[in-house]
Amino acid sequence: MNRIVRKDEGKAKEILDGIWIQNLAYGDKTHMVRFLLEKGKHLPLHKHSEEQTGYLIRGEMDLIIDGIKYRVKKGDSWSIKGGIPHEAYVIETCEALEIFSPVREDYLKLD
């Protein structure tokens, strides 16, 4: 499947208090999602079967992956294998781009 997503397509959805996602482009094997996380918020500990690779566009957060804390700042990136528990504490309001493989079907259902 080939797909172009224009910047004004789709709207961000609040999935938790102060945590927003916006589905962007996706194909058969990958899925790109934009995250907005408000300062002071916590993305609770969770895990999912999809591999996740991210890039922090702006902000700062503590990302805890499999019990290890990493201070992540603008321009940093990460990769988390499927099934690994992770959470985030937002130090400064963040915008992140995340790629999931395979596609997060649960996120697509939010549209």
What are the tens digits of pLDDT across the range 28-81?
999 999 999 999 999 999 999 999 999 999 999 999 999 999 999 999 999 999
Distances in whole angstroms, Cα of residue 44 to Cα of each of 11, 16, 111: 23, 9, 22
CATH number at residue 58: 2.60.120.10
Residue 7 lies in a domain: no
Residue 85 pLDDT > 70: yes
Residue 55 lies in a domain: yes
Task: Say what the pLDDT of residue 1 is.
Answer: 65
Residue 84 lies in a domain: yes
Average pLDDT over residues 5-18: 90
Domains contained in the chain, number:
1
- Is the pTM of the predicted complex or chain greater than 0.85? yes
Domain that holds residue 52: 13-108
